[in-house]
Structures are given as structure tokens and as C-alpha cells.
Chain A
Amino acid sequence: MTAQKDDRRIKVLLAKPGLDGHDVGAKVVVQALLEAGFDVVYTGLRQTPEAIAKAAADAKVDVIGLSILSGAHIPLCRRIRELLQEKGLYDKLWIVGGNIPEDDRMVLRQLGFRGVFPTGSRTADIVAFIRENVK
């Protein structure tokens, strides 16, 4: 892995909002991010949008990542966006992964989730995207 330009490690919050229990992908991404040299705060399953926004603020992360496979990504992302904005976290990198149909990807990008990684994405691409986009 290439060394980061910045001395400080990139810190990522990876969250599982809603009731969806599919966490294989999220845990794989956690390990890929760790291997890339990032610090990762993993929320565990079934977090409310409020708890996720609070965890993001408390942990002072650079990246807020959501993993949603139940299909409820649009209402959840909409709500989490409101809360992240309230907490002044709009300058952080927001990304989302999961079972996301093509038509919904643009909607999520418009909501401010700059990285959208549907099922089947390569972890290497997620790592590269974070490296390029963290300010």
C-alpha cells in the first residue's frame, strides 16, 4: 500500500442504518480499509440516523460510509443527510454502498453521497476513491 501524503491517518465511519442485517459486505469493507491504513469506526448493525450522525461527529471522521441492502437507501440517506448537515459535517466525504439500482445512484449523488458503490464493487476502488476525495 502506498503511504499517505498526509501524516494523519484517514478516519472512516462505516455505518449500518435501518433494520437491514446484511453485514458481510460492510465487514469486508472495514477490513479492506484497515488494510489500506485507514482507521475505521464500525457502528455495528441497526443504527438510527441520529446515532450515526452523532458517531460521525464524536469520532471526528473524514469519511461517512453507509451500507444498506434492504432497499431503503433513499429514505435513509435523505434523513442522514439532514442530520449530517445539522451537525456541520457537509464538508466530509459521504459514501454509500449496497443493493442500489442504477436509477437510484444519481439520486444518492444529488443528495451529496459522492461515492456510490453498488453490490459487486471492488474494495480496491472504494479505497482509491477515498484516497482521491478526502480533503
Chain B
Amino acid sequence: MNDKPAEATKPARTATPIRRVVNESGIEIKPLYTADDVIATGGIDTSLAGEAPFTRGIHPLMYRQRPFTMRQYTGFANAADTNKRFKYLIANGQTGLNVAFDLATQCGYDSDAPEAVGEVGRVGMAVDTLRDFEIAFDGIDLDAITVSLTINGAAAILIAMYLAMAEKRGYDIAKLRGTAQNDILKEFIGRGTWVFPVDPSVKLVADSIEYCAKVAPKYSPVSVCGYHIRESGATPAEEMGYAFAIAQAYTDAALQRGLDIDEFAGRLSFNFNIFGNLFEQVAKFRAGRRLWAKIILDGYGAKKPESGWLRMIAGGGGFGLTIEQPENNIMRGAYYALIAALGGAQTMALCCYDEAYTIPTPKAQRISLRTMQLLIEEIGLADTVDPLGGSYYIESLTNQLEGKIVEAMSWVDSQGGIVKAVADGVIQAKVSEYAFERQKALESGALRKVGVNCYTDTDEDKPQVDLHGYDEMGAIAQIDALKEVRASRDNAAVERALAVLRAEAKVGHNVMPALMDAVKAYASVGEMTNALVDVYGRFREPTKLWRKVA
């Protein structure tokens, strides 16, 4: 068209090359979204909140009617100290309790077991017998405050203990609400508090679902956790996809007991993570809600709409927090809380800013609680349902995320299903590979992390973090209390209850009734676990040589 020299045709503004952005789930992000993108990805789900498939929320009015429950993860030392901290949090406006147990309890050991040395009361409350639960929940109204037990390997035992404690205090357990984490499959992928081998572990989950469906139908016996899978390295889409595969495994096991899908599906709940890209996480929650509703209502043919609710605690975010410049974690926590609120979580909990150093101090707990309260009181997050719904970007991402979650589930199927994939270790290997890729990207600077590989302080002040020390005397007191219970209970009754438990496990019956009787006789967590180990055995992770093939 013209014969001017090339340099003269340069546009007035030099176009800087546009950065390519791909989110963690593998979706390429455009610089601008329009209505065309929403249509191209599958259109908008125009159903309202409270209407299947619940993309916008499981309740019609969401937080306008009832704000998210605030439930910080707490528990330490012994039952008496934990009871005090519970009351402190309740006095500060917390509306639910999320109980942390020490590792001995989580792994089914008594406080005086050799395996428990140095661990009693360290990362949570030590529980040996029903006596500990009686003390921990003393004076707490179990109707007003819902209690979530973060327990997995020993979940069947602790659910029995909670129900027995409530019953003793005069509550009607047919009406009692509450949650147990009780998601053992994810423990084999990440977190690691398994006790029994994979198959009997899944059997125990089915036992608790069946028992609660019959006896405590308002109690949520399982909270399926994508959370820890994500912490172990999975992408947001994989987090949700693997969690759904796990939830299906429990659902199938419960159906095999002859339960109807509508008898228990509505009591299944979920636990998801909130660190990472805000829009990707919000889309993950919206897409997850829609997909889970389709799976349960269409796939399993549930009749009750609430069976298809993706009820969830969204929280934590521990993997997103850093040891460097720990105060930055307060800001991260605030953004993560925003993600959970925009995502429509029923319950929220935040990792505290000091968690990379220690179990949270009361001050850090209070900051997390205030962060969530701020969203409701000052920032307007409880005013309207699904505030990001209708955004071209969010709607497109929601559609694409749903596809990615389905992809992750198909991959699990291709590995022979979730139980086999976990038993074979293929999920663990995949998740761990991604964690390593992520670490390499952090070290190379390809993945930016404020205070870690950019905006680092050369003259950084020593972080002001108070450490929570180990209470040796507390551990001794716990062991003494256990000995006292052993001396004062009817030991013949305990022996009888344990013999029944062993026999029921052996013939493959539901062990929950036998556990209820053993708990009420003040049998200890370790004694009941050992009775089940006699039948099921104990899981061992193999020690093996890894060698890179050149």
C-alpha cells in the first residue's frame, strides 16, 4: 500500500506483549470476557438460589437469612483447657465449634501409649474416654452451638462418644445436629491419620452413615474433604473432582447397606479449600454445587432436592500462608474469607496468621474471627445472594471449571475408581508431583509469592509470633486422669463390651451399637481401636527406595 520504510509504520504506542495467564485448573484466562464467552462455554444457569442445580446457592436467601457459621478449628491440651477456649470463642461471637484432637487421639492411641509420647495434647485436645467429652462440652448448649469433630481414623469411636455424651446430658439424639469429618479416603491421600487398612476403613464410614441415618438423622456423619487433597498439591478442579469421587464411594457403600439415597445424602457435607485465585475458587464452588446436584439428583435419582445440596465448610487456606512476613497472612486470610463468602459456603473457618509457626494463639484466633465478622457487618457480604453471579467472567469460568472437575473424576475412573486409586497410591503420586512442580516454580520465581520470592525484606524484623509450647505437666495430668477412669470404672463391663465389639467386627456387622456400649462403659479410645485392630489389622505405609531412572 505504501513504500515507507518499515520503522515509520510502527504504531504510535508500542504494544507490550500480553502475558499469558493459565489458572491452576488449566483454563486459559482471556484479558476480557463478554456475553459471547458465556454462550460459548454453555450459557447461564438461570435457576435461582435454592433451586436445583443450586449453582447460585443451596438456600433461596442465603446469608440474608442466615450468615455463614463461623467455626474456628480449636482444641488443645486437655478437655478442661479446651472447654475454656471454646467458651472464649463463643463469648467472642463464634457460632460453631470445630474440635481439634491431638495426634494420639486421631491415630487411636491412648495418652499413655508409647506412640503418644510427646504428642499428648500437642496439636489438639487429648481424648481417652467419655469423661474427656463430658468435661470438654460442659456448659455448652449443643442445640445452639453445632459441634464439628475433626476426626477420621478414630471417627466411628468419637462419633459414638459424642452421641453418648449428648444422650447422657438429656439431649434427644434423634434431633441432635453436628458433624464429624470422618473422611478416611482423603487421609490416605493427605493428612495421614489412618488407622486401619483401606477396605475396613471405608466399611467403618458406611457403618457410621447407616447408624446415623437410623438413630441420629440430623447428624452429619461425614464431611468429605477436598481440602487436604488441595493442601497436598491438587489443583482446584482436582480437589473437587477427587472429593466427589470419594463422596460417591461412601454413597455407594451406604446404598449397599440397603439405605435409600434420600435417607442420607442430605447429611453428607463437604470441606473445601479457599487459597489461590479468587475467581477460580468462586467458580469452583459454583460449578461444584451444580455438578454435585446433577450427580445426586440425576445420577442417583434422589427425590428430595436437599439430597443434592453441596453443603460445605470452606476455609483454611494453610497452604497459601507463608512463614515469611507472617503478618501478610492476615491479609491473605481476609481475601480467603471473601472467597468463601462469595462462593456461598455454609460454614467458614480461617487458618490463623501464625499457623506456619505454631498452633494458633487466642489473639490470632480472634483476628480470624473478626475477619469473618467484618465481612458480614461492614463489607456487605451478607446482603445479597451470589453477588458475582451474572459476571461474564465468573459464569464462563463456572462452566469451564465444571468440565475440568468432570475430567478429574473421569481420570479417577480410568484408574479403577477412587478406592483402588488410593490403595494403589496413584492419586498420592499425582498430587505429590504437582506439589513438587509448584515448589520448583516458587523457587524459580515463575510462581510469584509475596514476601517469598518477590517483595522480600532484606532487613526483615524478626516475626513477632508467640509460640504455643508443649505442656509436659498437662500430658502427665491427662495420663493420671485416664488411670483414674480405669480404676473407677466397671472393668468387667468394659471387657464384655470390647469382646462384643470384636465379635461384631469379626462377623461384619455394623459396629456402631457395640461402640456406643463400649463408650458408655468408659472404654478408652486405645482399647476400642485395639479391639478393631485385632480384626481389621493396622495400615502401614510401605518404606521403599526411590531411584530416578536416567
Contacts and interface: CB of A to CB of B under 8 A. Distances in A.
A71 B470 contact: yes
B544 interface: yes
A23 B190 contact: yes
B139 to A, nearest CB: 29
A41 B435 contact: no
Given A21-B193, A23-B192, A34-B546, A28 B435 contact: yes
A115 interface: no
Contacts of B322: 120
28 contacts: A18-B118, A19-B103, A19-B119, A21-B192, A21-B193, A22-B191, A22-B192, A23-B232, A27-B432, A28-B435, A28-B436, A28-B439, A34-B548, A41-B543, A41-B544, A42-B543, A44-B544, A46-B192, A47-B543, A71-B122, A71-B359, A72-B470, A99-B356, A101-B357, A101-B467, A102-B462, A118-B323, A123-B443
Contacts of B548: 34-35, 37
Interface in B308-359: 319, 322-324, 356-359
A83 interface: no
A48 B467 CA distance: 26
B138 interface: no
A55 B324 CA distance: 34
A59 B356 CA distance: 33
Contacts of A76: 118
A20 interface: yes
Interface residues of B, number: 48
A31 B433 contact: yes
Nearest to A43: B543
Nearest to B191: A21
A53 B117 CA distance: 18
Interface string B536-550: 000011111111100
A123 B231 CA distance: 18
A111 interface: no
Contact of A75 (B117, B324, B359): B117
Contact of A70 (B115, B123, B191): B123
Given A19-B107, A30-B546, 19 more contacts: A19-B104, A19-B116, A19-B119, A21-B191, A22-B192, A23-B192, A24-B432, A28-B432, A28-B436, A44-B542, A44-B543, A44-B544, A55-B543, A70-B122, A72-B118, A72-B119, A75-B118, A99-B356, A124-B443
Contacts of A51: 543
A82 B118 CA distance: 16
A55 B540 CA distance: 15
Interface string B356-381: 11110000000000000000000000
B452 interface: yes
Contacts of B119: 18-19, 70, 72
Nearest to A118: B323
CB-based closest 7 A-B pairs: A21-B192, A44-B541, A19-B103, A75-B118, A120-B323, A31-B436, A72-B118
Contacts of A75: 117-118
Nearest to B429: A27
A24 B359 CA distance: 18
Contacts of B192: 20-23, 45-46
Interface in B417-434: 432-433
A35 B550 CA distance: 10
Interface string B107-134: 1010000011111001100000000000
B208 interface: no
Nearest to B546: A40
A39 B545 contact: yes
B527 interface: no
Contacts of A123: 439-440, 443
Nearest to A21: B192
Contact of A21 (B118, B187, B359, B443): B187
Contacts of A133: none
A18 B103 CA distance: 9
A44 B545 contact: no
A44 B540 contact: yes
Contacts of B543: 41-44, 47, 51, 55
B106 interface: yes
Given A42-B544, A123-B439, A24 B117 contact: no
Contact of B435 (A20, A27, A46): A27
Nearest to B323: A120
Interface string B180-213: 0000000100111100000000000000000000
